[in-house]
Amino acid sequence: MRTLSALIATTLLTAVALPAAAAPSYDGGLSTPREDSYYPQHGDPGVDVLHYGLDLRWHRGSRTLVGSADITLRATADADDLQLDLGRTLHVREVSVDGTRVASSHDGAVLHVEQPVVSDQRYLVHVGYRGTPHTVAAPSTRSDQRGGLGMRVTKDGQLRTMQEPYGAFTWYPANDQPSDKALLDVRVTAPKGWVGVSNGRLLSRKRTAAGTVTRFHLAHPVATYLTTLAVGPYVHRTATGPHGLPLSYWLPRSDPERYLKVLRHLPADLRWLEDRLGRYPFESAGVVVVPGASAMETQTLVTFGAKTWAASEIPREILVHEVAHQWYGDTVTPSDWSDLWMNEGMAMYLEARWSASHGRAPWSAWTNYFSQRNRRDRAEQGGPGDYDPGMFASGCVYYCTSAMYEKLRGKIGNDAFWQLVQQWPQSQPDANVDRAGFAAMAEELSGQDLGDFFETWLTSPTWPPA
């Protein structure tokens, strides 16, 4: 039997040791998840992920991703089990909760973890998995999404992903909806001679017998659609932006100078954006150039398709658009995909303003184009705040909303408009937002009742409205 003195000593030692061993709280990842009105099949409002800790190893020869995910989450309600999104081609090897192995089932693209949970309690869920990532169909008619969403394996074995409105679950277990933002740490082991790249600051890069190991840390919470992973033959270049901001460029080894011709302008373009939006909201900025087309505002590290770089002048305008999203979409993120207009409309509006201010196209040409698209796109897709769910990220959310923003500027005045544009992301960093909040701030700054204005512009399927 243990003596009383030994028991007391053990208790004291445990009491002293516990705080040092206690897990991080990850309070910065607290969210209020909701079921998405457009794509409710993805994500679970019963789960609030606080932190994703991903350890990923890519085997190029076998096209196999071996993953280990440590997910700290909060249950938002009492439930008999937990649910996460996970791609059907990723095979679950083990699941544990708070260190104890538990049963699970992987039904299609949903991982069910058979663990009863209590509202507002936190749990550490570990998932070991492996498989070949595969894209999923996109709810869109856009040509650059015909190949699907999520992680793509190229012919030569590279990895790259773009995943809006969903698709993160094709490479890690996720609560794949915009209203659940979480902190992120990623460790990637890439084949020899290649490197793995993800969001945030590069903490370390080491060459081992297994390949190149990189570690990345994202200090601000991120929505799953804004995470990125690329594995390939990259070279790393760095620069400095406004107020000492670290800039990081991951470029194809074959011709990095081709991309640096445009990227050397990024510090100046960041300053242009900061003059209108306030200080850049994150700890770093940069670009990773991946095989394929299109571009995506992945947080702190824009994912840019090499094919989109074909025209020598176009990439700079697109880059301004994607970097503008770091304010509109990334630090303030819609709670629901019905408010995609908030992100894309402002990024498009600022892209056009940049273009006009840099002599690319006169502002009058842009406003005429917005007006023409406003009529045409509504008839085909619906209003930008009430678009057809099968036509995600089509023209209406870009051009109809840009026309609305210009009309709003005329209605409330230039000073109040630009005050709104800057205060919206600066007043609620790292938050999830909705149209009611945006309209309320516009009304407060202008002193006008704008309810009918926003309702008409966002929901009317015709123009002029019936």
Q: What is the pLDDT of residues 365-380, one digit of tens each?
A: 999 999 999 999 999 9
State the SS3 of 113-168.
ECCCECCCCEEEEEEEEEECCCCECCCCCCHHHCCCEEEEECCCCCEEEECCCCCH
| Domains of the chain, residue spans | 28-231, 233-323, 332-459
How many Å apart are CA 380 and CA 369, to the nearest integer?
A: 17
Q: Which CATH architecture has domain 332-459?
A: Orthogonal Bundle (1.10)
User: For the domain 233-323, what is the CATH code?
Assistant: 3.30.2010.30
* Residue 426 burial by Cβ neighbours in a 10 Å radius (0-12, 13-18, 19+): middle
3-class SS of residue 65: strand
DSSP 3-state of 214: strand
Quick one: how far is CA 129 from the chain centroid?
23
CB 128 within 8 A of CB 68: yes
Question: Cα separations (Å) of 167 from 91, 102, 139, 220?
Answer: 16, 26, 11, 21
| pLDDT given at position 312 | 55
313 pLDDT more than 70: no
How confident is the model at residue 10, as a pLDDT? 34
Which pLDDT score is estimated for 87?
98
Calculate the average pLDDT of the chain: 94
pLDDT value at 238 more than 60: yes
What does the DSSP 8-state code read for residue 399? I
Residue 210's pLDDT band (cuts 50, 70, 90): confident
Number of C-beta neighbours around residue 254 at 10 A = 9
Tell me the CB-side half-sphere exposure of residue 58, using CA atoms within 13 A.
Answer: 31
For the chain, the maximum distance between any two Cα atoms, rounded to a whole number of angstroms, is: 88
pLDDT-derived band at 5, boundaries 50, 70, 90: very low
Residue 353 gets which letter from DSSP?
A: H
332 beta partners: 328, 431
The pLDDT assigned to 311 comes to 58
Report pLDDT for 301.
98
User: For the chain, percent helix, then strand, then coil, each to nearest 5?
Assistant: 35, 30, 35
pLDDT digits (tens, 9 = 90+) for 419-444: 999 999 999 999 999 999 999 999 99
Contact 160, 148 (CB under 8 A): no
What are the C-alpha distances in Å from 179 to residues 106, 259, 381, 438, 444? 23, 34, 24, 16, 25
Q: Tell me: the pLDDT tens digits for 121-131? A: 999 999 999 99
91-140 confidence digits (pLDDT tens): 999 999 999 999 999 999 999 999 999 999 999 999 999 999 999 999 99
d(CA 354, CA 361): 9
> Nearest 5°: phi and psi at 194?
-110, 175
pLDDT in tens, 372-418: 999 999 999 999 999 999 999 999 999 999 999 999 999 999 999 99
Q: How far, in Å, CA of 239 to CA of 254, rounded?
A: 20
Residue 308's pLDDT band (cuts 50, 70, 90): confident
Identify the pLDDT of residue 315. Answer: 87
Cβ–Cβ under 8 Å, residues 304 and 288: yes
Query: Which superfamily, per CATH, for 28-231?
Result: tricorn interacting facor f3 domain (2.60.40.1730)
CB–CB of 205/195 below 8 Å? yes
Measure the CA–CA gap between 31 and 24, rounded to whole angstroms: 17
Structure tokens at 116: 């009863």
